[in-house]
Amino acid sequence: MGAKPEVLDLSIFVHVTDSEAKIRALGETYRKAMETLEIRGEVLFILDGVGGRILEECEALEASHQAFRVLVLQGKGNGESIAYAAARDHSQGRYIVTSPDYLQIDPAAIGSFLGLLESQADFVCSWRHPRVDPLLNRLQSRFFNWFLRKLSQNGLHDLNCTFRGMKREVLEEIPIYGDQFRFLPILAERQGFRVTEVSVRHLEERGKTGFFGIGVYLRRLLDILAVTFLTRFTSKPIRFFGSLGLVLILFGLLLGVPPVYEKVFHGSSIQDRPIFLMGIVLVTFGLQLIGFGLVGEVIIFTRARNLRDYKVQRILSSGVPNPPPSELETGEGECEVDLVSLERSEIKEAGVSPLIIRHAAPGEDLVLDRFVREHPQGTLFHTSSWRRMVEDVLESPGEVLVAEKGHQILGVLSFFEIKSPFLGHVAVSMPFGVYGGVLARGTEAARGLVARAADLSGSHRNRYLELRQKDPLDLNGVETNRYVTFRRELPEDPAECLGMIPRKARAEIRKARDDGNFRFSERRDLKLFHSLFATNKQELGSPSIPFSMLAALERNLGPKMVMHCVDRPDGQTIATVLSFIHGDCLMPYYSGALSTREGRGANNYMYWRLMEWASAKGFKIFDFGRSRKDSGAAKFKKNMGFQPEPLHYQYFLGEKGKLPDFHPDNPKLGVYQRIWKKLPGFLVRPLGGWIFKRLP
């Protein structure tokens, strides 16, 4: 087997179609730009229907320097899509820059492209600003881009410019044909790649000026319609064809119903009413379009297993990180691997990889969850399952930052920005969770993540960034000691759980066990749980979790969420608890019980039986969760034999930020709690759910 080709940093694709192009000068300009940027790269000329002098100049360049290569396409007029697809298969660069056959853009833009590709983007578009071409061309281009932005719902300003930078995976994963290369940024964004735009200096513009001809505009319009359909309706064709069909049916009925009405009630003839026939034709066409949409839905449904609208950024196996690109081989049907690039450092230390902070890529949740699972301080609230649940509840995406060095993940930090009428604009890691701050291996990675998160939060004018740290970490934030947590190890023998509990609580448990004849069982009835939980929370003067959040928890956590109930002999449920599982830890998180003395006694019984259940299932840690210091819940947990451990929540304040004071310990909220207790149930539940979502 021959040696594998060296993987370079950059490949510049130059699509040559002009027989008068100044190839030598263009090639030398790009070569010098790569030398200035100190990157290993190649310039690949794709000759599309040109030869003679152009081919001789390309051959001379190839002989003069190893950075130059030539690819001659058969025939002519193949177009950019075919040219760049062919160049992709005959190049070695991790990053790709596409260029026309003249110096359209200042080559210094390549440095900006690489900086963005290495830190926060997969695809970088050029925005020629200011433009140097004729006024009519600028007006046409501006209208074209405005029209396409409205249809495709993207914010790019200059899709006509084909001087672009991208990771190799973009060209490998997205099929392009015809004139689709012009719309590649839109297709890439739909596929899950991160697309951004950078302003570049426009040097020259060639091609037609003025009016291009009606054929060009018609072809461009059809291309726009095709891309709009591909990016918005390929997974739901019924929405496209169905919408058109319903519109036609509506107009058909408006035209056809009046003649029918006159025929039925006034005896008028419809034989000489062409408007009736037009209505029938429109209704028929409308039904046919809806039929097309339904056929498309059937095709999508039957082929859904083979469709892929995501990208996998990294795959780990048996704890071994990705091999370098030169060791990767991708066969047909295999999953392609995207190596996260290292950020270039202004200070280059031999043999030392720089720390980079980046946003998580689409499809990276599996890798990040593995990092959380293997980290000793990882919790359920650091996982993608919890984050997706929060996204469902808040109906907005969260920020996921990753610290990385030398292709090795060193930390992760997820947070959400929330507009709360009670707290103001704040950022929280992690909403609705008691833990979930920064998770990192080493102080450098932790501080890098927090610095980036604080910058993002400050730039959005949030009052503060809250990190719910379970363990102490020197992050230079403002720390509060308001909360404590209660955790302890479980015995291997479930029968020893009762002996772990102090005498007074143990007596309560025995009394409930012997006198109450309670039945403890595992169940999954979220409506029952929500009913007890909401009633219990109102008695305490607090809003309840909305039922929609319970459904989101069940949808995202699945078997990581378990529910247990305590029933009386007559079958009535008097206490219930919802617990979460992470590794070898069981965490009873939400609970509700009747306010009667019997219900209060059932709480001790329920948690004892839950400890037994957890021990029998092999769990090692029983995590009683967070409570405010010296609160009633904290005293209950102490009585059950758990010792408080301080939580190390840290706050990074914005320009006008201050520590939050909207909490039950604030005496100013006492009057609102008393009012809340007296409100009718039909008002409390929907209003409580609305409030709960805004107190993360």
Domains 8-232 and 491-619+666-693 share a fold: no
pLDDT of residue 236: 65
Q: Which CATH class is domain 8-232?
A: alpha beta
Q: Which of 110-114, 174-178, 579-583, 620-624 has the lowest mean pLDDT?
A: 174-178
* CATH H-level, domain 312-319+356-485+646-663: superfamily: Gcn5-related N-acetyltransferase (GNAT) (3.40.630.30)
- Write the DSSP assignment of 622-685 as a string of letters: EEEEEEETTSHHHHHHHHTTPPEEE--EEEEE-TT------STT-GGGHHHHHHHHHS-HHHHH
Neighbouring CB atoms inside 10 A of 571's CB total 7
| 228-263 tens-digit pLDDT | 665 555 556 676 677 788 888 888 888 888 888 787
Euclidean distance between CA atoms 512 and 565, whole angstroms? 14
Spatial distance between the Cα atoms of 579 and 563, rounded to a whole number of angstroms: 6
> What span, in angstroms and rounded, lies between the C-alpha atoms of 547 and 541?
18
Would you list the DSSP string of 439-468?
EESSHHHHHHHHHHHHHHHHHTT-SEEEE-
Q: How many Cβ atoms sit within 10 Å of the Cβ of residue 293?
A: 21
How much is the mean pLDDT over the chain? 81
Do the Cβ atoms of 178 and 81 come closer than 8 Å?
Answer: yes
Task: Write out pLDDT tens, residues 527-560.
Answer: 999 988 888 888 777 888 899 999 999 988 988 9
The ranges assigned to domains in the chain are 8-232, 237-306, 312-319+356-485+646-663, 491-619+666-693
pLDDT class of 308 with cuts at 50, 70, 90 = very low
Using CB atoms within 10 A of its CB, is residue 277 exposed (0-12), middle (13-18) or buried (19+)?
middle
Read off the pLDDT of residues 65-112 as tens digits, 9 standing for 90 and up: 888 999 888 777 778 888 888 888 888 888 999 998 888 888 888 988
Name which of 270-274, 463-467, 692-696 the model is least confident about: 270-274
User: Residue 629 contacts by C-beta under 8 Å, 6 or more apart in sequence?
Assistant: 481, 482, 483, 484, 644
What are the angstrom distances between the C-alpha of 559 and each of 527, 532, 578, 579?
18, 22, 12, 11
Note the pTM of the prediction, 2 decimals. 0.54
Q: Residue 339 has what pLDDT?
A: 32
Predicted local distance difference test score (pLDDT) of residue 297? 61
Asked whether residue 159 carries a pLDDT value surpassing 80, the answer given is no
- Give the residue-averaged pLDDT of 291-305: 61
The pLDDT, as a whole number, for residue 226 is: 61
The pLDDT, as a whole number, for residue 593 is 85
Q: What is the pLDDT of residues 427-480, one digit of tens each?
A: 999 999 999 999 999 999 999 999 999 999 988 889 999 999 999 888 888 988
Least confident of 26-40, 198-212, 480-494, 504-518: 198-212
In terms of phi and psi (left: phi > 0; alpha: psi -120 to 50; beta: otherwise), the region of 285 is alpha
Q: Does 610 have pLDDT greater than 90?
A: yes
Residue range 641-652: average pLDDT?
A: 93
pLDDT at 605 over 80: yes
Is residue 267 pLDDT above 90, yes or no?
no
The CATH number of 491-619+666-693 is 3.40.630.30
Whether pLDDT at 43 is above 70 = yes
Is residue 576 predicted with pLDDT exceeding 90? yes
Dihedral class, residue 94 (left if φ above 0, else alpha if ψ from -120 to 50, else beta): alpha
pLDDT at res. 511: 87
Give the residue carrying structure tokens 């029983």: 622
Share of the chain above pLDDT 90, in %: 29
Return the ∠ at Cα 216 (arms to 211 and 219), rounded to 5°.
150
User: What mean pLDDT is predicted for residues 184-195?
Assistant: 82
- Is the confidence at residue 350, as pLDDT, over 50? no
Tokens of 370: 């593995």
d(CA 547, CA 534): 10
Q: Tokens for 665? A: 């310990």
With 0-12 / 13-18 / 19 or more C-beta atoms within 10 angstroms meaning exposed / middle / buried, residue 374 is exposed
For residue range 669-690, list pLDDT tens digits in order. Answer: 667 777 777 777 777 777 888 8
Q: Which pLDDT does position 5 carry in this prediction?
A: 47
Q: How high is the pLDDT of residue 560?
A: 92
pLDDT top residue among 607 and 696: 607
> Distance between CA atoms of 665 and 628, rounded to whole angstroms?
8
DSSP 506-551: HHHHHHHHHHH--EEEEE--HHHHHHHHHHHHHHTT-PPPPHHHHH
**According to the model, what pLDDT value does residue 336 have?**
34
Q: 245: burial class by Cβ within 10 Å (0-12, 13-18, 19+)?
A: buried
- Other beta carbons within 10 angstroms of residue 62's beta carbon come to 16
Considering only residues 264 and 297, tell me which one the structure prediction assigns the higher pLDDT.
264
Strands (E), 223-354: none
d(CA 75, CA 393): 56
Q: Tell me the one-letter amino acid at 553.
A: L
